[in-house]
Structure 1
Amino acid sequence: MRRIVIAGGGYAGLHAFAEIRKRLGPLIRSGEVELTLIAKDPYHTYHGWTGEVLSGRLSVGNTLTVLPTLLRGQYVEGEIGRIDAERQVVEITTPDGIHRRLPYDHVLVATGSRDPFSRLPGLAEHGWCLKNTRDMQRFVDHLRTFAGKRVAVVGGGMAGAETASALRERFRRLGRDVTVELITSGDLLFRQLHPRFSRLAAAGTRILERQGIVIRRGARVASIGQHGPVLENGDLVLADMTVVAAGVEFSPIAGLERLQATPGGRYIADPFLRACGQDNIWLAGDIAEVARPFGGGLCPVDALWAMKQGELAGANIARAVLGRGIRRFSFRGLGQAAGLANGSGISELYGMTFRGGLAWFIRVCYFAWYMPRRTDGAAVLRDLFADRLAEAIGGLGAMLRPAAQGRKSLEAAAERGRAP
């Protein structure tokens, strides 16, 4: 029997799992190949809907896919403690404290990234992060009772802009005038879009400004205090709640010290998504530093690139098991998008740019397509469009009520004029 272990239940791990099961299905069913995915949580979180959850248009449940059901039993819940590359064993600790050892012939390291707790003092004590699902759930619960007047969002990229916009929208829908301040260390927002799509970035910035979001530029945050972010120059940005949506960090795995890695803790992959110098250790997702195909630096740390890396890593593992040649990573990218304000946004797809409601629609359909299950994507589309329809009908009703009241006043006046 040949054993394949996937370490990580994020985008890269799930897409690798699906690709392996598709290509090696008969061998898995016959027992010749054993495929196991390890994840620390019993569900996968789809971060593409963070803005919709924060604005109150979707529930946290819309972002979750239950792994035991999706993976049909080929799943182990546990925290990875060590990957012994010499003995080819993954050591984990299950939620009930049991230590297990899973042998492998091929292992995919797709453990992702985490929020930057170690390099931003005070974040764990005084700030909120949204990358971890449990942190997101706690934050949404906190929003239900939050009574403050000022919110600071740290991060001038897509994630920071979406978070600030969603929170401002949430409070507006609740009839509350809460100041939302977006803090960025640069002079421009949406740095991922510059310089090629600078006009699109400017359009996104104008949407945020029209929404009433305060933008503080050139302000690098040094720490998070009890009363808000503290900048490098010593200034305090007063806030009743601080949300950090900027930057990630990586956790090296014990036992993989011999792998080539960056100073920040990412493992360096070769063009086939193997760990450099290894034949049976594969890398994908945020934890992997992968050169962008055809030049242009490194692959971005985001969901779509993790999915595509997971697909190729899974396909190459299957090819290796079958004794076939493996292939290079050749994904060039599809585009970028941010959902902003009330059904608005900006998006870039294959170099074409969109803004406003059309950009929002493209982004929603695009994200729904890439959810782990088609039924999950369909459910999100149903809930989002039902929400928009209800809001549109409500707005139409609000427009018609004054007109109806006006007609009634005229009719009453006419009746009075006819009275003897």
Structure 2
Amino acid sequence: MRYGEATVTVVDPRSYMTYQPFLPEAAAGSISPRHVVVPLRRVVRGAEVLTGRVTTIDQDRKVATVAPLVGEAYDLPFDYLVIAMGAVSRTFPIPGLAEQGIGMKGVEEAIGLRNHVLEQLDKADSTTDEEVRRKALTFVFVGGGFAGAETIGEVEDMARDAAKYYTNVKREDMRFILVDAADKILPEVGPELGRWGKEHLEARGVEIYLSTSMDSCVDGHVVLKNGLEVDSNTIVWTAGVKPNPALSRFGLPLGPRGHVDAQPTLQVTGTDYIWAAGDNAQVPDVAARKAGVENAWCPPNAQHALRQAKVLGDNVVSGMRGFPQKEYSHSNKGAVAGLGLHKGVAMIVMGKMKIKLKGRLAWYMHRGYHGMAVPTWNRKIRVFADWTLGMFLKREVVSLGAMETPREEFYEAAKPAPAPAAQSSAPEKAKAS
């Protein structure tokens, strides 16, 4: 756009964007958590960034209500609107899940998981209570898609390395469990590589239970539908995602699963000034439908979201200037997944040919693709620097669990001492007796 032609305002409860494919590596300590997030104010310098939440949208007045981090809500007028709120963890009303579960949608959760796992090793190494030790060394992961398989692969790798520094903890003492309601894991890379991934994880000592689900996990007592019961302090939930539930408050047309109903041009159905893209949008997969697949929709992954964003940006400018809209069309280029250091699977699509890789070569493909896809050269260089240093330096296995309550120690030192209890005098005691 020409200088001064428009003002772009970004409203987000966080002042940074998270590159989610790197969360498993951040949880394992292979990448610094700061390097998987991109500060919005540095990257989108021409835009106004507001840290807050959009609570309502008045389409008649073209006004969005913004609730900032502090202070009262206010109205923000707009001429054109882009809905790109992403997705949240898809959960179910399982007893104990809200209290015990750990998600993997944000960098905060990745840091928390890493500290939590290392803290469990500290507990197990220091206790003499066998029940406490067993519960600390049992790790349950629910969901066998990309997020679940990659996270358990990376965390198991980290725990295996960390165990070398503990006197009373060995890898054989740990129990890793992966649960999925489907009959396979890693469906994104196809059945053949999915089977290899399953066999590879099982060879590393991971127990995998398919076609089952978790019934409850109250107080860490995990009950699976297949009858298995275990006690665990670590329950990681990666069983899929769903569109941000806030979409239901905006008066937008929604699909059957809560996505914003969008046209192939990424315009929201029934409007000419609202666009949607990414995980919160139901966008027809034009390429798949041309290939004869009926009712095909773009899957919620970064491959589509990044490309949709470019088309959306062009279409917004075209809409401002009265030009025709362009349809979004993209053929799947494959998928890559890392299962720990030097281990991975990859399926590369080149026309009608599919190249399937596994092991170290697939791991190189995984790192190469995502290393180049992470936004900004600043983050690319930092991520590759982390990986390069990791080739020569040992992985850090320090738990910083106190980060979650950084003021606790200071509070204990600074809080007023309790007043001494009033004591009765000796004569009064004698009189009372």
Q: TM-score range by the shorter chain?
A: 0.7 to 0.9
Q: Tell me the distance in 1 between the aligned counterparts of 2:107 and 2:272.
A: 33
What amino acid is the match of 1:53?
Answer: A
Deviates more, 1:134-143 or 1:242-251: 134-143
Match of 1:368 among 367, 371, 376: 371
What amino acid is the match of 2:156?
Answer: R
Match of 2:183 among 173, 184, 187: 187
Q: Tell me the distance in 2 between the aligned counterparts of 1:370 and 1:100.
A: 36
Match of 2:386 among 377, 383, 387: 383
The SS at the match of 1:286 is helix
Deviates more, 1:310-319 or 1:294-303: 294-303
RMSD, aligned CA: 2.0
Please report how far the alpha carbon of residue 286 of structure 1 lies from its aligned counterpart in structure 2 after TM superposition: 1.0
Name the counterpart of 2:423.
Answer: none
What amino acid is the match of 1:186?
Answer: A
Task: Give yes or no for the alignment of 1:38 onto 2:11.
Answer: yes
Q: Deviations over 1:294-335 (max 9, x none)?
A: 323221111221212222111110111122211111011221
Please report how far the alpha carbon of residue 241 of structure 1 lies from its aligned counterpart in structure 2 after TM superposition: 0.8
Please report how far the alpha carbon of residue 119 of structure 1 lies from its aligned counterpart in structure 2 after TM superposition: 4.3
The SS at the match of 1:336 is strand
Sort the Cα spacing of 1:225 and 1:66 in 2 relative to 1 into closer, same or farther, 3 A.
same
The SS at the match of 1:301 is coil
Name the counterpart of 2:321.
Answer: 322
**Count of equivalent residues:** 361
Task: Give yes or no for the alignment of 1:299 onto 2:273.
Answer: no
Task: Give yes or no for the alignment of 1:253 onto 2:247.
Answer: yes
The SS at the match of 1:185 is coil
Sort the Cα spacing of 1:279 and 1:229 in 2 relative to 1 into closer, same or farther, 3 A.
farther
Task: Give yes or no for the alignment of 1:140 onto 2:82.
Answer: no
Contact 2:97 2:217 in 1 (8 A): yes
In structure 1, the gaps of 5 or more residues are 1-23, 393-420
Task: Give yes or no for the alignment of 1:80 onto 2:54.
Answer: yes
Name the counterpart of 1:130.
Answer: 104
Name the counterpart of 1:165.
Answer: 153
Q: Tell me the distance in 1 between the aligned counterparts of 2:222 and 2:322.
A: 55
Sort the Cα spacing of 1:255 and 1:247 in 2 relative to 1 into closer, same or farther, 3 A.
closer
Deviates more, 1:354-363 or 1:142-151: 142-151
TM-score scaled by length of structure 2? 0.79
Contact 2:223 2:230 in 1 (8 A): yes
What amino acid is the match of 1:321?
Answer: M
Sort the Cα spacing of 1:167 and 1:96 in 2 relative to 1 into closer, same or farther, 3 A.
same
The SS at the match of 1:174 is helix
Q: Tell me the distance in 2 between the aligned counterparts of 1:201 and 1:118.
A: 25
Sort the Cα spacing of 1:387 and 1:201 in 2 relative to 1 into closer, same or farther, 3 A.
same
Q: Tell me the distance in 1 between the aligned counterparts of 2:27 and 2:111.
A: 10
Name the counterpart of 2:70.
Answer: 96
Name the counterpart of 1:20.
Answer: none
Name the counterpart of 1:414.
Answer: none
Name the counterpart of 2:212.
Answer: 219
Please report how far the alpha carbon of residue 126 of structure 1 lies from its aligned counterpart in structure 2 after TM superposition: 0.9
Match of 1:54 among 14, 17, 27: 27
The SS at the match of 2:303 is helix
Contact 2:53 2:68 in 1 (8 A): yes
TM-score scaled by length of structure 1? 0.81
Sort the Cα spacing of 1:51 and 1:236 in 2 relative to 1 into closer, same or farther, 3 A.
same
Contact 2:26 2:111 in 1 (8 A): no
What amino acid is the match of 1:61?
Answer: R
Sort the Cα spacing of 1:369 and 1:119 in 2 relative to 1 into closer, same or farther, 3 A.
farther
What amino acid is the match of 1:179?
Answer: R
Q: Tell me the distance in 1 between the aligned counterparts of 2:221 and 2:341.
A: 27
Name the counterpart of 2:282.
Answer: 289
Q: Tell me the distance in 1 between the aligned counterparts of 2:92 and 2:191.
A: 32
What amino acid is the match of 1:291?
Answer: P
Q: Tell me the distance in 2 between the aligned counterparts of 1:232 and 1:207.
A: 24
The SS at the match of 2:11 is strand
Please report how far the alpha carbon of residue 260 of structure 1 lies from its aligned counterpart in structure 2 after TM superposition: 2.3
Contact 2:342 2:360 in 1 (8 A): yes
What amino acid is the match of 2:77?
Answer: P
Q: Tell me the distance in 1 between the aligned counterparts of 2:91 and 2:195.
A: 31
Name the counterpart of 1:269.
Answer: 262
Q: Tell me the distance in 1 between the aligned counterparts of 2:182 and 2:26.
A: 27
Q: Tell me the distance in 1 between the aligned counterparts of 2:64 and 2:302.
A: 25
Contact 1:228 1:242 in 2 (8 A): no
Name the counterpart of 1:18.
Answer: none
Contact 2:26 2:110 in 1 (8 A): no
Sort the Cα spacing of 1:390 and 1:152 in 2 relative to 1 into closer, same or farther, 3 A.
same
Q: Tell me the distance in 2 between the aligned counterparts of 1:254 and 1:151.
A: 35
Sort the Cα spacing of 1:130 and 1:163 in 2 relative to 1 into closer, same or farther, 3 A.
same
The SS at the match of 1:34 is coil
Name the counterpart of 2:42.
Answer: 69
Q: Tell me the distance in 2 between the aligned counterparts of 1:79 and 1:140.
A: 28
Contact 1:155 1:184 in 2 (8 A): yes
Deviates more, 1:228-237 or 1:104-113: 228-237
Contact 1:113 1:249 in 2 (8 A): yes
Sort the Cα spacing of 1:327 and 1:34 in 2 relative to 1 into closer, same or farther, 3 A.
same
Contact 2:23 2:106 in 1 (8 A): no
Sort the Cα spacing of 1:61 and 1:207 in 2 relative to 1 into closer, same or farther, 3 A.
same
Q: Tell me the distance in 1 between the aligned counterparts of 2:51 and 2:357.
A: 41
In structure 2, the gaps of 5 or more residues are 122-135, 164-169, 396-433
Q: Tell me the distance in 1 between the aligned counterparts of 2:249 and 2:343.
A: 47
Q: Tell me the distance in 1 between the aligned counterparts of 2:192 and 2:279.
A: 28
Q: Tell me the distance in 2 between the aligned counterparts of 1:61 and 1:236.
A: 37
Contact 2:32 2:386 in 1 (8 A): no
Please report how far the alpha carbon of residue 142 of structure 1 lies from its aligned counterpart in structure 2 after TM superposition: 2.4
Q: Tell me the distance in 1 between the aligned counterparts of 2:58 and 2:82.
A: 13
Name the counterpart of 2:360.
Answer: 357
Name the counterpart of 2:430.
Answer: none
What amino acid is the match of 2:274?
Answer: I
What amino acid is the match of 1:79?
Answer: R
Please report how far the alpha carbon of residue 254 of structure 1 lies from its aligned counterpart in structure 2 after TM superposition: 5.7
What amino acid is the match of 2:55?
Answer: G
